[in-house]
Amino acid sequence: MTRAPETIDTTRLVLRRPRLDDADAIFTRYAADPDVTRYVGWPTHNTVDDTRAFLAFSEGHWAQWPAGAYLAWSRDDGKLVGSTGLLFETRRRAMTGYVLARDAWGRGYATEALTAMLHVALLTGVQRLYALCHADHRASARVLEKCGFVCEGTLRRYEDFPNLRPGEPQDVLCYATILQI
Ligand SMILES: CC(C)(COP(=O)(O)OP(=O)(O)OC[C@H]1O[C@@H](n2cnc3c(N)ncnc32)[C@H](O)[C@@H]1OP(=O)(O)O)[C@@H](O)C(=O)NCCC(=O)NCCS
């Protein structure tokens, strides 16, 4: 299995594997912001210990698989912009996603970060890269479409969104792309 680089340069971002000492930046920039976390699958972080739990999970994933989460940093001012990554489910199938700090929305960063994840998926031998997004989340669906993902359909009452309507599974769109080596 080819391992992914732990640092990737894109036009405006540096993507790198998270480190344990990134907890404060993640917590402060986006993970504790309810506007940012409305449509994500994890609860808004209440304390930096929640963020440390994510980092421990990320470490475990990188240890087991050829890639994992990445943090996206601005090349311009060095600030943390958000996070993306690959979550491997098998050697050939991975899920992706992205989350950006509020002040980084609307500038094409998610599209830039997801394009880099497509390269990581190709490099590491993923054949199916997919993402789930809430059926009402137009901006996220648009990012996936711009990157060539195809909507395979609606998974009805599929996933709980803990910051939206906890305990009421929501309809999600399943987007995927098939990568050839
Ligand atoms: C969703 C999110 C990642 C988008 O990031 P971004 O960097 O603003 O995305 P981009 O600028 O690359 O592209 C957004 C696209 O959606 C479009 N868009 C934005 N809001 C929209 C809306 N309400 N309806 C339709 N399209 C919309 C933009 O116009 C743009 O498309 P365009 O380039 O054709 O104009 C960002 O808003 C975010 O982090 N939100 C919080 C976390 C989150 O919800 N993550 C996704 C979970 S599935």
- 17-70 pLDDT per residue, tens: 999 999 999 999 999 999 999 999 999 999 999 999 999 999 999 999 999 999
Give yes or no for residue 101 CB within 6 A of ligand 1.
no
Per-residue pLDDT at 180: 78
**Residue listed under structure tokens 């050829």:** 66
Model confidence pTM above 0.85 = yes
13 closest CA partner among 56, 97, 73: 73
Show the low-confidence residues of the chain (pLDDT under 50).
Answer: none
Measure the CA–CA gap between 178 and 150, rounded to whole angstroms: 9
**Cβ contacts of 6 within 8 Å, gap of 6 or more:** 16, 17
Per-residue pLDDT at 110: 98
Specify whether the CB–CB gap between 86 and 120 falls below 8 A.
yes
Type of residue numbered 52:
R
Per-residue pLDDT at 181: 62
User: Other C-beta atoms within 10 Å of 146: how many?
Assistant: 13
Measure the CA–CA gap between 82 and 135, rounded to whole angstroms: 22
Specify whether the CB–CB gap between 159 and 169 falls below 8 A.
yes
Distance from the CA of 22 to the center of ligand 1, in angstroms?
A: 25
Full strand arrangement of the beta sheet holding 150-159: 7-9, 13-16, 69-74, 80-88, 93-100, 128-134, 170-178, 150-159
Give yes or no for residue 102 CB within 6 A of ligand 1.
no
Give yes or no for residue 98 CB within 6 A of ligand 1.
yes
**Cβ contacts of 138 within 8 Å, gap of 6 or more:** none
Tell me whether strands 93-100 and 128-134 are parallel, antiparallel or unpaired: parallel
Per-residue pLDDT at 1: 76
With H, G, I as helix, E, B as strand and everything else as coil, classify residue 67.
coil
Give yes or no for residue 130 CB within 6 A of ligand 1.
no
Specify whether the CB–CB gap between 99 and 117 falls below 8 A.
no
